Amino acid sequence: MAAKTTTGSRKKAPAASGGRGAISIRNVTKIYDPEGVNVMAVDNCSMEIQAGEVCMIVGPSGCGKTTLLNVIAGFHSLTHGEIYLDDELLCGPGKPLAKQGADRMVVFQNGALFPWKSLLDNVAYGPMVQGVLSKSDARDKALDMLAEAGLKDVADKFPGEVSSGMARRAEIVRALINDPKVLLLDEPYRAMDALTKSIMHEALLEMYDRTKVTIFFITHDLEEAIFLGDKAVVMTTRPARTKKVVDVNIPRPRDYKLLSSEEFRILVEEAKDAVHEEAIKAFEAGERELA
Ligand SMILES: Nc1ncnc2c1ncn2[C@@H]1O[C@H](COP(=O)(O)OP(=O)(O)O)[C@@H](O)[C@H]1O
Ligand SMILES: [Mg+2]
């Protein structure tokens, strides 16, 4: 059963986004069947994510985190259970595969900008091809959003001409221009050094403070989870289940000074044992790194 951890009596920072983007994951199981061999990736997993909440999913490699994201995004079907987005059934009995849609935008681990398009054209692309905005409106909006994210001066550059941090930021802007209800991020800063990562964290938090979009963010970095999240959900080793939920009652806006504060350290310590326990189990089970 999921242990609920709360800290102190301080009121939680408001996380409302006008009521959009609440996700309810109910008893979800996912069994892959490669060549007739069953692999249970997610087992009877449940969690509630409030509208406008930053929910961090922490767990060892191979535990089933990406699988869960793929089911929410509509890339993979589920085997049992159901998932709701704002009280609408995304997938469940009779409808195992969620319909993909711009209400759930995914930012992948390895980046997915078109290398042959400028950052501006990458960002403007979605609303333009969907016919939501005209070409010039899409470009105007893209430029505004890139400027808000500190990328105005590099808007005309190609992804290969900017730093990886800038490219990752542009990718999030590209997701946000669609005004999604939910942003799904799969270890987006995994390969970055600590300094770049901390700059990325602040940039993401700024974007979140502006949009209050619901965020489902996968990581195996516990400090990242506590720094960014309204809550951190620690998953078991495969098959993924909710092991522990840590509520992060730290007000926003947050900045890097938080990392050396006592309240931050206390929360990290609280979750550490649970994460460590599962990492050891994963190691003993011989789970491999799965990018
Ligand atoms: N398409 C697939 N077919 C078969 N097995 C898969 C597939 N994708 C993932 N798996 C298996 O499901 C388990 C969980 O994988 P994944 O969700 O990628 O874990 P994580 O993201 O936590 O590292 C792993 O054992 C992996 O081998
Ligand atoms: Mg993964």
63 in ligand 1 pocket by Cβ < 6 Å? yes
Nearest CA to ligand 1 atom 18: 66
The confidence score (pLDDT) of residue 290 equals 41
Contacts of 261 (CB under 8 A, 6+ apart): none
Which band of pLDDT confidence, cut at 50, 70 and 90, is reported for residue 12? very low
75 in ligand 1 pocket by Cβ < 6 Å? no
Coil, strand or helix: which one is 98?
coil
Pocket test for ligand 1, best of 56, 289, 290 (most atoms within 8 A of CB): 290
Better-scored residue on pLDDT, 80 or 192: 80
Q: Which domains are seen in the chain, by residue range? A: 3-103+182-285 (3.40.50.300), 117-179 (no CATH)
* pTM of structure: 0.90
Tens-digit pLDDT profile for residues 184-232: 999 999 888 888 898 899 889 999 999 999 999 999 899 999 999 999 9
Tens-digit pLDDT profile for residues 243-271: 999 999 999 999 889 999 999 999 999 99
Q: Which two tokens stand for residue 176?
A: 């946000």
Say what percent of the chain tops pLDDT 70: 92
For residue 116, give the amino acid letter. W
Ligand nearest to the CA of 68: 1
